[in-house]
Chains A and B, each alone.
Chain A
C-alpha cells in the first residue's frame, strides 16, 4: 500500500499519519489469524490516538490469540483525494490492507460531528454505506462509544451497536462473530443471535413507527429481541489493565501524554452532562493498582507527562496519597503530573504544588455558569468563593494564566445570568491584579463559552436548545461585558445546532446524514470544513425540519428515540431532576447521599445496598 502511495505522501500534510510503523503497533502473522478487526476512529490520527478507549480496546483485542486488531483513521482532505485519485481503498495502518477485506469494522462514536466521517470512511473503503445494501461478504460494521446512548441517527448504517463500556462485551461479541464465521451462517442469523448478548443493540431488529405529527408512536422489537438494551459496565474497574506495550505515535498527537483513568462514573450529577448519567455508578481503582499502572504506563511509553484522567479527577478518594506516591518516582525521572478536570472547590495549595513540581502546565476551571442560581439549575455546586480562593492560591503561587469554561443557552437562563459570565471573568482579573507576584508580568485569562446542547439521558433531554440567533446575541452580551485584557472565545452556534439535531435525533435522520455526506459534508468538527449551508440543503432535500429536533420542547411522556436504550438511570429520576432544575434546587452528590437515580434499585450501584 505504502509503496503505491509513496509518490503522493510527500505532498500531503503530516504524511506520518498514514504510515503506521510506530513502536507498539501490533503486527501479527496473517496465517495465525481467523478474525481481522479494524478499529476505526472517525477523525484524524492525532485525535484518535489521544483516545484512551481506542488504546485500551486495541490492546485488549490483540491479547486474544487468533484475532488481529488494526487501526484506521479518517484521512484529512488532501489524503482523501489522493486515495480517490489513486483508487486506493482506505487501509488499516498495521497491514496496509484495505478495510473491505476485514471481518469487523469497529467504529467509536465520540461526538456527533464525526458521523459524516463514518460514512466517508466506509465509502473510501469501498463498502456500501447502508447496512441493507451490504452483502454477506462485507465486513460487519459495529459501533461503540458515548454517542451510542442515542444510536438512532446511525441505525441505517451500522449493523450493531455496543452500548456502554466495551472491555467485556467486545470480547464476547468477537467470540460469537468468530464462531459464526466458521459456521458459514447468514449475517441475519448472526445478528439475531448476538442481540441476546447484554449491551448489544441491533437496530434492524427494532421497528419504529411515527404519528402524523412526526412523533414516535411505538418502538417494537422484532423476533423476540429484548425490549430494552441495558448498557454494559465493568463492575470491577480495578481489573481493567493498561497496555503493556502502548503505541508510541511518530507524530505529536492532541493529548501527547500517558493517561491513566482513576475511576469511571461521576458522583456529581451535573444536569447538562451526559457522561455524568450514562457512566454511573462511580467505580474507583485502588491506589495500589493505580500506582503500579502509573509506573508502568510511564516506563512503557517514555512519555514525560502523565495525566490522571476521569470525569472529575479531584473526586478520587485517595487523590492526595496517590499523587504523593506517583511524584516520588516521577520527579527524579522528570515526569510531570497533570490533573485535568479539577474542581475549583478541591483546589488547594498542596495540590497546586504537586501539579507544578516538574513542569508548570495550564490551569483550567469550568464554572460553567456566571450566577449562583444558574449553577444551582445545572447542579454544578460550586461557589464563587471556592473559585476565587482556588485562583488566589494559584496567582499567589506565581501562575499568570487561567482558562475558564462556561456554557450559554442553558435552561431558564436570563440575560443577567449571561452578563454575569463576563462579570465573573472581570472579577477574576481584579483578583489577579491584587494577588499577582511579579508586577512586570501580564495575565492570560482566557474564557470560553460553548453552546448548551441538550443530550439524551440527562434531565435536560426534553429541553429546547436556544436558537442560533439567541446564542449569538448571548455571546455578544458576554463579549460586551468582559474587559479587554480577557480573551473571550465562543463556539460557533451553527455547529452546535447540527450537533443538537443528531444528539436527540431519530433514525429518519439517516437519509439526511447520507445526503449531507453526498453534498460534501465531512470533518464537520473542523471549522475549515463545516458548512451549515450544505447541512441545511440536506435537510431541505430530505424534507426534514432540523428545528423539530433541536429547538422543540418535548413532553415528559413523549416516546424519545432512545427509549429502548437504558443507561440504568430511570426516567422518573430524570424528570424529577428536571423539575428541581427549574426550581434551582441542587441535588447532593452520590457520596454525600444517594439520590436514588435508579441504578441502586436494580442492584447495579455498588455505592448503595438496595
Chain B
C-alpha cells in the first residue's frame, strides 16, 4: 500500500506548554509506538518516523490549535485515534481530531493569539502603540538581531480589560516573515511597561485569505474571535 498522511489536531495547554518542540516529537513517537500505530519510517542507518508539527510553539506558549502530520504504512482506525492517543499523552496534550490528508502547512498564513497581560496600562494606549510603529530587535537563526518594525506583521490587533489586566487578541503573520508572539511582549515591555508579565495562547490558524486553515479543532474557527470570552 502507498503511504498515507494523517493529520492530528491537538491542544497543548497547562503544564504541557513547557514541553519543547523536539521533546514533544519524541513524546508523540513513543505514544504511537505504544499504540502500535504503523508509522512510516525513514530509511538508512538511523531510521526515524516521519513526524511534522506545524509552526513549532515556543516553550511557555499554550495552543488550542496544534497540527501534527505523520505517515502511516498501513490503514488504521482514524476515528478512534484521538481517544486512544489521549490515554498515552502527557497531562496537557489533548488530541481532538484526526483526518487523512489535509492542506499543506505552507498554506497557514496567520495565527491568532490571545495574550493575557498583567499591567495597569489602559487598552487605548496599547492599541495605539501596536497600530503605529513598534521597533524591536528581531532575532533570526543565522544573522545578528535586526531592529524591525513588527506592526506590518500584525494583521489584526484588539485589546480589552480582562480581570486585573488586559487581554490582547492578535492575528500574526506566520509566513515570510513570521512573527513570534513573544515580540508583542518585548515591544510591550520596551514601550509601555517593563514589569508586565504575559501568558500566550495560540487560538486559531488562518490561510492567506484569512479563512480558517482547516475545519479541525481550534477555538477561533470561523472568525477571529474577539472580544474574548471569560
Contact = CB atoms under 8 A, between A and B. Distances in A.
B31 A23 contact: yes
A301 B30 CA distance: 7
B16 interface: yes
A14 to B, nearest CB: 8
Nearest to A358: B47
Nearest to A9: B18
Contacts of B91: 20-22
Contact of B41 (A9, A23, A334, A360): A334
A16 B20 contact: yes
Interface in A1-57: 2, 6-7, 9-10, 14-16, 19-23
B176 interface: no
B92 interface: yes
Given A7-B197, A10-B60, A250-B90, A19 B18 contact: yes
Interface-centre pick from A7, A248, A252, A358 (highest chain B CB count, 10 A): A248
Interface in B159-174: none
A4 B19 CA distance: 18
B59 interface: yes
A299 B34 contact: yes
B34 A300 contact: yes
Interface stretch (B21-29, B139-147, B216-224): B21-29
Interface string B2-43: 000000000000111011101110110111111010000100
B29 A304 contact: yes
Nearest to B28: A302
B26 A252 contact: yes
Given A16-B19, A251-B20, A23 B88 contact: yes
B53 to A, nearest CB: 15
B45 A359 contact: yes
B19 A251 contact: yes
B19 A302 contact: no
A511 to B, nearest CB: 39
B132 interface: no
B46 interface: yes
A256 B22 CA distance: 14
A26 to B, nearest CB: 13
B23 A251 contact: yes
Interface of B: 14-16, 18-20, 22-24, 26-27, 29-34, 36, 41, 45-47, 59-60, 88-92, 197, 199
Given A16-B23, A23-B88, A250-B23, 12 more contacts: A7-B197, A9-B60, A10-B59, A15-B18, A20-B91, A250-B19, A250-B27, A250-B90, A302-B32, A303-B33, A334-B41, A359-B46
8 contacts: A10-B60, A20-B15, A22-B91, A250-B24, A250-B27, A303-B30, A359-B45, A360-B45
Going nearest first, the 4 A-B pairs with the smallest beta carbon separation are A302-B30, A21-B91, A10-B60, A302-B33
